[in-house]
Every structure is written in structure tokens, then in C-alpha cells.
Amino acid sequence: MSFTDSLLSRHRGLWARLVEHPFVLRTRDGDMPPEIFNTWLRQDYLFVREGRSFLGLLLARSPERLRDPLADALAALGEELDLFRDRAAALGVDLEDVRPGLVNHAFVQYLKATAHGASYGSAFTAYWTAEKAYHECWKVVEPGLPADSPRRPLVENWAGDEFAGFVGWLGSELDALAEQASAAEREAMEGHFERTARYELAFWEMALEGPGWPGLEG
Amino acid sequence: MSFTDSLLSRHRGLWARLVEHPFVLRTRDGDMPPEIFNTWLRQDYLFVREGRSFLGLLLARSPERLRDPLADALAALGEELDLFRDRAAALGVDLEDVRPGLVNHAFVQYLKATAHGASYGSAFTAYWTAEKAYHECWKVVEPGLPADSPRRPLVENWAGDEFAGFVGWLGSELDALAEQASAAEREAMEGHFERTARYELAFWEMALEGPGWPGLEG
Amino acid sequence: MSFTDSLLSRHRGLWARLVEHPFVLRTRDGDMPPEIFNTWLRQDYLFVREGRSFLGLLLARSPERLRDPLADALAALGEELDLFRDRAAALGVDLEDVRPGLVNHAFVQYLKATAHGASYGSAFTAYWTAEKAYHECWKVVEPGLPADSPRRPLVENWAGDEFAGFVGWLGSELDALAEQASAAEREAMEGHFERTARYELAFWEMALEGPGWPGLEG
Amino acid sequence: MSFTDSLLSRHRGLWARLVEHPFVLRTRDGDMPPEIFNTWLRQDYLFVREGRSFLGLLLARSPERLRDPLADALAALGEELDLFRDRAAALGVDLEDVRPGLVNHAFVQYLKATAHGASYGSAFTAYWTAEKAYHECWKVVEPGLPADSPRRPLVENWAGDEFAGFVGWLGSELDALAEQASAAEREAMEGHFERTARYELAFWEMALEGPGWPGLEG
């Protein structure tokens, strides 16, 4: 079994909570109030903006062979941000002055700290996990969306074939890294899979519960 | 008004929530069940262990003048960890296999990411804020503790004169940094004051609520 | 006077050594033996490959406003590497198994360490200085080159209008950063201007003298 | 054969150039003019000051088990700097306003960039290599020094038993790291052994030749 398959298999309970999260299922079923969806939209816009730093740091530590595709991925995030702004306009959502909820802020900090200080394989694992989670969650949502839903272009961005191909490529690179890695390194990488999935799950929870900070209103 | 005083004054509402948090007041009043106190103890032990990285990173970017005192502070954290282990033994608390709650994990990631990627003044602000918060909170607790409380040595570690002197020194260094800083830099530093205080507040909340991850039991 | 102009003015002696270096003037005058030019080509190819890391790190610390153009600059370096390979093929130069000379290795380390640990303004200064130096040096070379020189496409890459526009943009961003900066920060930035120019100068020297390591043959 | 032994064995030619460098042998034989020795002293003082950053960065990425000894090593560097100042006073050497030669500057940048961006095993290899080189070189010098040489306390600092024990401990930790590492990681570590030894060798050359920058006088 490939490394990525073994991660998904060994943590299938955690992964199922993520992919079948109420935020996902209710959005698929047309049962997601605009306020909640738009809260997610605003927070995720911020996440992508700040998360771009992660990719710059990862590229900086990457072998030469990966630098062109990672530079492309960085440019693609710029287009993703354009798509966010376009959809926000269509949905009447204001993207100015968004403040990150604790989970949003924390997830970005985790990614940055990992890209800086953890092993390269650990950082790459976090990257694949986050993109894989997005692809799989939005693939669940996609079939339930009306053809003319203004949410559709955003959902298709992550559910579609191009992103699927990208996530598959990331997975094959991760498998190649894992094959070269020592047992201790693979264990560290698995820890980052689990933590990244936990942060993704917490992000869905935050979308439902609201982007507050513990002990503070608002 | 000094920079540090202005931070405390401009964010006095946030600061008051921290220093007068139920965890603080109930511990002072002898109204803190061992399970909750010990949850905090276990989580904070982990926080100090992992947080030591922050100080190594800060030292790496510090002017020569500060490297001796920061090397001493690193060594002092080693002694603090001994004190944790000593108190855990006295209180019958197991420090093995502690897993960080989301807020604990996130706070450490925030500190590391800040020490890596934010301005030096921002990182120094985060450091002072965290130590200042600890000093002030435990100074609130200290008068209420019985003389023979097994919690006392830990509380005195942060409430006592030596730590007070250290926090005062950090504050004066921060004021000197702020005096040299541009307006834009001071604004960035203030942002890190606020975020650090928010993480500290969330840490107290986590101690009361339990160190879980959103969307997962346990 | 703008910050960038004041840097060039205050260090005009150092800058003149760079722009009027024998490697530059002799290449302009058609007096540069292929072995030396090709040594430079091989070393510089390696430098651009490794130096791409610097740009990823800089992007990671950049304000949102600059992330799109820096992502474009990262992609442009990929095209620059293609140009190197194309020109190497035309000139019969082997780009495999190049080992960096000390100065080449050191310059990359300096850029990475600066992007990691120095202030953002310092890292941005190093970036502008390196690109400005390249633009100005190759602008000196360009008028002397035969129209059909196989070196021409590479020289035009840095001497041409597009790169001129990019360097001008970097300079205006640096001037804006300097305007916001404190006096202490501007002094640090100036130090990085000087060091980057010194490394550039050492790189020309290495091209002429050969890419060895002190105390070792070859 | 242990990993560290295999490094020394596979690169014995490079290592011999380092340990039997003219700077080493002539200092042992009492044939080292004060100007040259003192040039080295001034440059090395700066190197240790700036190099302390490396150790802070390494500690930040270290497993918990190593953080106490590395914090002690950081404090020990503070004492080493005191020893430099003490010896400089005894030898009439001014330590103010020393500017680093290119090799000195470059070596520090290499160490910082490695501690930031290379694998942990690579950074640890660089650390052991630098300390091992110092121990072995100064052990060669020590027997030739007059008992009352004012250089003796500095030489004994690195040639003596305490430092020998420390270097031995670093080596055993590195061997343990290598045992856990994959083949690819061990190859990366070996590359850092070689590069660190090359920088050490270049440092001796710089002491003899003077701490200039290529293309500049002085």
C-alpha cells in the first residue's frame, strides 16, 4: 500500500469526520444558510492569502525538480484569490477587514512553523493533506449544488479535474518522499498528517460555530 | 507613557479578562478542583517544553547585547521544567504522554512562526507579553494559596521577585526597541501584543474546558 | 534624494568597481575567452537555481500586495533557467555536475540567511541590490556584443527593457519601505546593500580567477 | 564503522589539510607572527559571536532530550567570548570594530542558512564538524606552546579534556542520528560535513592571507 493510502486508511475515522462534516453535508444538501457559508468564505479567503506564505517556504526547501511546479502552484493561489473576490462580489460578501478566528489563525501558524522548522517531508505531508482534504470535501458537495448556484465556480475549483490532477501529483511526490524516508521520518510525517487533518476539521467547526476567540465575545 | 504601559492601557479590557480569569480567581480562592488544575499543569508543562524553541529562535536574531541574558533565560526554562516535574510528582500528576490541546498546540505554533517570520520587535513583544501575563496572573493567585500548598513553589516561580525582575527587564528592552521603531513597526508590535494576550486567554479557557480538539471527543 | 539613489551615491566607489569590473568590460569588448565566460555561465546557472529559494522566503514574509508580483518573479526565474540551458546548448557548455565555488556558495547562503533572519527591509534591499547590479552590469556589456553573438539572448535578458522595468519597480517598493522605516532599520538596510554589492563583486572575481575553494586545488 | 568515523575516513585528505594547515603547524612551532595570530583572534571572536545564532536555531529544532545540553552549550559560548576578551587584553589586541572577511561572513551565513533550511541531521553534522575540527587542530598546536604563552588559555579551551568530552558527546549523538537516517539523508549529511570542513579550511587560509573581500583592498 502506498504511504498516502496507508495514512488515509490508518486515520479513516478522523478523515471521515472531515469529509462527512455537517458543514460539508449541509452545503451539499442545500441546507446551509448564507450567513454560515459566507463566514466560511471570508475566513477561507484570509486563510488562502496568509497560507500562500507556506508555499513560498516549502519551495525554498524543495529539490530543484519541484520548484517549477511549486512556483506554478503559487501563481495558481493568486488566481484562486481572484476567484474568491469574484464569488464574494456575486454573493454580496464583504472581504475587507476580515479578522481571523482562532482556528484560522492557528492553522496558518501551524503551516508556517512546520514549513520553517519541521522536516521537509513533514511540511510536504501537511501540504498534501490540506489539499487532499479540500478536494475530497468539495467533491462531496459538488453533486448537490444547483447548476446555477453562485457557489459553484468556487466548489468546482477544488472538486474539478485539474485540482484532482494536482492533488494526485502531490500524493505521488509524497509517496516518493516516504519511500526514501527512514522509519522515524515516516512517523513524523504521519504525525503531521494527523495534525493537519485535525486543523481542517476544526476549521469546519469554526465555520459552523463562528470565528471567535475563546473567552471573548465576537 | 512607555510603550509597554500604552499597550496595557489600550488593551485593558482584554488584559483584565486574562488576569481576572475564572481559572486565576478560583485557583486563588482555593476553589479549583485538582483535575482542572492538573490538566493545566500537564498542558503547561508541554507548552514550556515546546516553547523553548521560541527562545532559541529569538536569541538567533537578537543583538549581541541580549544574547547572554537570553541564553540564561533558556537555561532557566530547563530549571522550570525540573520544577514542573517535581511538582507533578508531589501532586501525583503523570507528565508522560501528554497530548496538546488545540489551543496549546496553536499557541506554540504562533510563537515559533512569529520568531521565524515576523519582525524582531514583533517577536520580542510576544515574548514580553507572555511572560508579563504569567507574572501578573500568578501574582493574583499567590496571596490566596495556603503556605503549605504543594502548588506554591510553581506559583512563586512566576509571582516572585526574581521573575518580576526578569519581566521588568524584558519590558525595558521592549520599550527601548519601540523607541527606535517606526510607526508601522510599532503597530505590528501592538498586533502581536493583542494576539499573544488572546492566546493566553484561550489557554485559561482550555484549562477550564478541557484540552480537546474541535469536532473530536477527548 | 530617494533611498535607492542615496545608496548608490554613498557607495559609488564600490558600485563602480562592480559595474566597471574587468569581467564586464572585457566581455563588452569581445575580449573574454570562452573558458572564462563559460565558467561564469555554469556558476551563475547554479546561483539562479539555488537563489530561487531566497525569493520563496521573501514572498513568505511579504505583505499581500507584493505576493502576486513576487510569485510572477519566481515563475520568471524558471524561464531564466530555461534560457540558461538553451544558451549553454548553443555555446556547447555542460551544465551537469557543476559544483559551486566558495563565493557562489557563500552568496546563496547569505541571501537565504538574510531572508530567514534579517529584517524584511534588509532582505528586500539585498534583492533589489542583486537585480540592480545585474541590470547595470549587463547594460554595460550589451552595446559591445555582435548582433549574432550566441551570448546575446542571455545578456538582453538582464539588459533589456522588461528587466529594467522590474528593477525599477523593485526600487520604488524599496524606497517606499525605507520611507516607513526607522533610522536604525535604514542603517541595517544600507549594510545589506553594501554586503550584497560586495558579494556581487566577489562573484565577478571568481569568474575570472576560477571557482575554487581556498586551500584546495580545483 | 561509526558514521562519524566513516566521514573522517572518506574525507581524510580534506581533513588532513585542515589539521595540518600551515596556520596550525606554524602556531605550534612558535613561528606565527603576532599580526597573523591576532588577525585570526579578531576574526574568530566575531565568528563565535555571530555563530551563537546557529546554536539557538539548532536548539529550536532539537528533540527535547538535547535541549538542556544545547542550552548549556549556548551559555558556554558566552564564557568563551569572555575568554576571547580576556586574551585579547593580555595580547594587546583590540576587539572593537572588527569587520568580517568574506570567508568569516560566509561561514556564519552558511551555518545560519543550514540551521534554518537544511534537514536537522545536516545542521547537526555541520555543528559536530566545526567543533571536531577546532578540537583536533588545537590539539596539534597545544604541545608546542610554551607553558606561559598568553595564547595558552585559549588553545586549552579547545584542546582540553572538557571540550574533548563535549565533542565526543556531539559525535555520539550524530552517530545515533545517522543510524536512524535514510540513505538519502546520510548522503545529505555527508555533504554538510564536506562543506563545513571546506569553510574551516578557508578560514585558516583567510587568517594567513588577511580578511579581505575579493576585488577590494583592505
Is residue D9 predicted with pLDDT exceeding 90? yes
The percent of residues in chain A predicted with pLDDT above 70, rounded, is 100
Counting one residue from chain A and one from chain C, the pairs whose CB atoms sit within 8 A come to: 61
Of the listed ranges B45-59, B204-218, D33-47, D137-151, the one predicted with least confidence:
B204-218
The predicted structure's pLDDT at residue D218: 54
Give the closest-approach CA distance of C210 to chain A in angstroms: 25
Whole-angstrom distance, CA of residue C60 vs CA of residue C116: 10
Whole-angstrom distance, CA of residue C85 vs CA of residue C105: 20
If one counts every other C-beta atom within 10 angstroms of the C-beta of residue D189, the result is 26
For A29-69, the pLDDT digits (tens) are 999 999 999 999 999 999 999 999 999 999 999 999 999 99
On whether the CB atoms of residues C27 and C209 are closer than 8 A, the answer is: no
Domain boundaries, chain C: 3-209
Confidence of residue B217 (pLDDT cuts 50, 70, 90): confident
**What average pLDDT does this structure show over A204-209?**
97
Confidence of residue A151 (pLDDT cuts 50, 70, 90): very high
The predicted structure's pLDDT at residue B193: 98
On whether the CB atoms of residues C110 and C199 are closer than 8 A, the answer is: yes
Q: Contact B57/D60, CB-based, under 8 Å?
A: yes
**What average pLDDT does this structure show over B133-150?**
97
Mean pLDDT computed over every residue of chain D? 97
Whole-angstrom distance, CA of residue C201 vs CA of residue C19: 9
Whole-angstrom distance, CA of residue C60 vs CA of residue C57: 5
Q: Contact B116/C119, CB-based, under 8 Å?
A: no
The percent of residues in chain D predicted with pLDDT above 70, rounded, is 100
The predicted structure's pLDDT at residue D161: 98
Confidence of residue B218 (pLDDT cuts 50, 70, 90): low
Confidence of residue C217 (pLDDT cuts 50, 70, 90): confident
C64: nearest CA in chain A?
A: A49
Q: Contact D204/C195, CB-based, under 8 Å?
A: no
- Contacts of residue D207, Cβ cutoff 8 Å, sequence gap at least 6: D23, D36, D39, D40, D43
- Partners of C49 on chain A (C-beta within 8 Å) are 64, 67
Q: Contact D53/B71, CB-based, under 8 Å?
A: no
Whole-angstrom distance, CA of residue B146 vs CA of residue B154: 13
Q: Considering only CA atoms, which of B77, B70, B79, B71 is closest in space to residue B169?
A: B70
Would the pTM count as exceeding 0.95? yes
In this structure, which amino acid lies at residue C63?
Answer: P
Q: Which chains touch B (3 or more CB pairs under 8 A)?
A: A, C, D
A116: nearest CA in chain B?
A: B116
**What average pLDDT does this structure show over C181-199?**
98
Confidence of residue C103 (pLDDT cuts 50, 70, 90): very high
- Cell 519566481 -> residue: C74
Q: Contact B61/D77, CB-based, under 8 Å?
A: no
- Contacts of residue A216, Cβ cutoff 8 Å, sequence gap at least 6: B14, B17, B198, B201
For D56-68, the pLDDT digits (tens) are 999 999 999 999 9
- Cell 554613498 -> residue: C10
Q: Contact B67/D78, CB-based, under 8 Å?
A: yes
In this structure, which amino acid lies at residue B162?
Answer: E
Q: Considering only CA atoms, which of B189, B139, B136, B187 is closest in space to residue B16?
A: B136
**What average pLDDT does this structure show over A160-172?**
98
The predicted structure's pLDDT at residue A164: 98
Whole-angstrom distance, CA of residue A143 vs CA of residue A159: 10
For B147-205, the pLDDT digits (tens) are 999 999 999 999 999 999 999 999 999 999 999 999 999 999 999 999 999 999 999 99
Nearest to C113 among D102, D116, D202 (CB): D116
For B25-66, the pLDDT digits (tens) are 999 999 999 999 999 999 999 999 999 999 999 999 999 999
Is residue C218 predicted with pLDDT exceeding 70? no
Nearest to A119 among D60, D116, D120 (CB): D120
Give the closest-approach CA distance of B209 to chain A in angstroms: 10
The predicted structure's pLDDT at residue A50: 94
Nearest to C71 among A60, A68, A74 (CB): A74
Mean pLDDT computed over every residue of chain A? 97
Confidence of residue A81 (pLDDT cuts 50, 70, 90): very high
On whether the CB atoms of residues D124 and D173 are closer than 8 A, the answer is: yes
- Partners of B115 on chain D (C-beta within 8 Å) are 60
C118: nearest CA in chain B?
A: B61
Q: Contact A117/B116, CB-based, under 8 Å?
A: yes
The percent of residues in chain A predicted with pLDDT above 90, rounded, is 98
The predicted structure's pLDDT at residue D140: 98
Chain A residues near any Cβ of chain D (below 8 Å): 60-61, 116-117, 119-120, 180-185
The predicted structure's pLDDT at residue B32: 94
Confidence of residue D217 (pLDDT cuts 50, 70, 90): confident
**What average pLDDT does this structure show over B112-126?**
98
Counting one residue from chain A and one from chain D, the pairs whose CB atoms sit within 8 A come to: 22
Q: Contact C53/A74, CB-based, under 8 Å?
A: no
Q: Contact C53/A75, CB-based, under 8 Å?
A: no
Confidence of residue B122 (pLDDT cuts 50, 70, 90): very high
> Which string of b and e fits C3-32 if b means at least 16 CB within 10 Å?
bbeebbeebeebbebbbebebbbbbbeeeb
Q: Contact C77/A61, CB-based, under 8 Å?
A: no
Q: Contact A198/B216, CB-based, under 8 Å?
A: yes
Q: CATH classification of A3-209 is 1.20.910.10, yes or no?
A: yes
Dihedral of alpha carbons A108, A109, A114, A116, sign: positive
D119: nearest CA in chain A?
A: A119
- Partners of B60 on chain C (C-beta within 8 Å) are 117
Mean pLDDT computed over every residue of chain B? 97
Q: Contact C74/A71, CB-based, under 8 Å?
A: yes
Give the closest-approach CA distance of A177 to chain D in angstroms: 10
Is residue B144 predicted with pLDDT exceeding 80? yes
Q: Contact B61/C117, CB-based, under 8 Å?
A: yes
CA distances from C93 to C40, C84, C87, C205, C215 (A): 11, 10, 8, 20, 27
Nearest to D75 among B56, B72, B112 (CB): B72
Chain C residues near any Cβ of chain D (below 8 Å): 14, 17, 21, 53, 102-103, 105-106, 108-110, 112-114, 116-117, 195, 198, 201-202, 204-206, 209, 213-216
Whole-angstrom distance, CA of residue D38 vs CA of residue C119: 32
Q: Considering only CA atoms, which of B102, B120, B125 is closest in space to residue B7?
A: B125
Q: Contact D61/A184, CB-based, under 8 Å?
A: no
For C107-137, the pLDDT digits (tens) are 999 999 999 999 999 999 999 999 999 999 9
